[in-house]
Structure 1
């Protein structure tokens, strides 16, 4: 599923070295923005932490139960079909996180040792890609979004191996600038480690207050910056409180629309269009950016 991969599927991982930048809410809201335009997205979150995308979409009810999950498929021990893992929220298909993700490195290492003892190859960082290909994901979906944790390891490596592209939320602070400056070496390191080409589809500054220092930091970003998102802590906290996307939160949990929140929704729509354009996908039914009355018609 690299750039030359299966015909015209947009695939990316949301990634940020710094925690608390809004990586997971970015993945969730972009997925909804793709779906609003009539595309079919699949989201594969891989974060073993509790405050993850499954929690945001309120589908983490089985994370501690002995049920089939993505890890079992990655170590070739599935209990059922891949399709049965999928839950759908806001026209977005999602594979919920499971507590087995906490021990993913150990599970993969054990499987690799067993395979090599039998004279077989087992690429620890290519297992998500294998699972998705075997399940026909590139033919069935228009968009694949992975949301791995910020720390380096098999979660991140499997996500990047499967998507080959990054969307990077950036904090416009000195800490964020350090993260941006480290990005090029990070991307190069990932390419060398995984032996794949990794592209950056866009950097998304989040929490921008238009100070001179922040503008300077933004000027130093060498990647495409489709939109600059302002300080939206109350909107994002509301999403986590109500366990829903920003689109659903504003539509169903706000008694009046606030212009700056509608502007943020419009920005998610615009970013989604930018990312689709990067790989030559034309959404069949794109809304006017931020239009909450837009009727979703999937093709």
Structure 2
């Protein structure tokens, strides 16, 4: 996670019990000196951040409020999950009494936590904001539509959850599901579009990677490459160039199950199809495959030597 200078400044505020308040919209909490450590101090800041803010009138100056809200978000990487969730829940409960204010906050959260330019990219942090808008009965369908879509995709594809049992049509024309892949091997879901340059580059690198191919041949990993569009003969013809080691299919509903913000989209599942990680960089993946393959090969060599003895 990229830690900006602004976030470091907020961390300093959390660590400094008696430091003078900066020019803020309202007085930020002062952490007691008896509380030690970055996480406990950040927890205190999160839990008491809005104590001296009148959330009924503060939206009269949205620009100034945005600065305070950005400071609030910047504390999230340093606080515990429990403190962050409790603080956000309480905050949204108050703000949600005025739907237009809730919508304003959710749009700010989208920019700071969810968008391509977010400086604190955190799906778990953003999800409560999207869900709050999606479930608000006083906002129009048009106002809620984007947030409903985001909440749905995020809720279905969080780390630790079982991956959605998505249906796809293979390049051979057969209908299949993720659950058709037997439990046991790890599964790399690679969602890519042939018209996407970044996707094409990632596909070439993954197809050519010795370690990944070796792990596939050993039965330790399955690769499921999905095109987020309808099956058609043109795509099927293009898909013939994809690795013969991969399962390749077309899944037009992929965006309803997975977070499709930044293609190519990569999810890594364990042997029971639970999501271990997502939004992985290809460089990191290739390095991880190299290390895993080395360990697997070491295990094989050790077993062979023991058998010979």
TM-score bin (small chain): under 0.3
Which structure is higher in RCO with an 8 Å CA cutoff and minimum separation 6? 1
**Which has more radius of gyration?**
2
Relative to total residues, which structure has the larger helix share, 1 or 2? Answer: 2
TM-score by length of 1: 0.24
TM-score by length of 2: 0.24
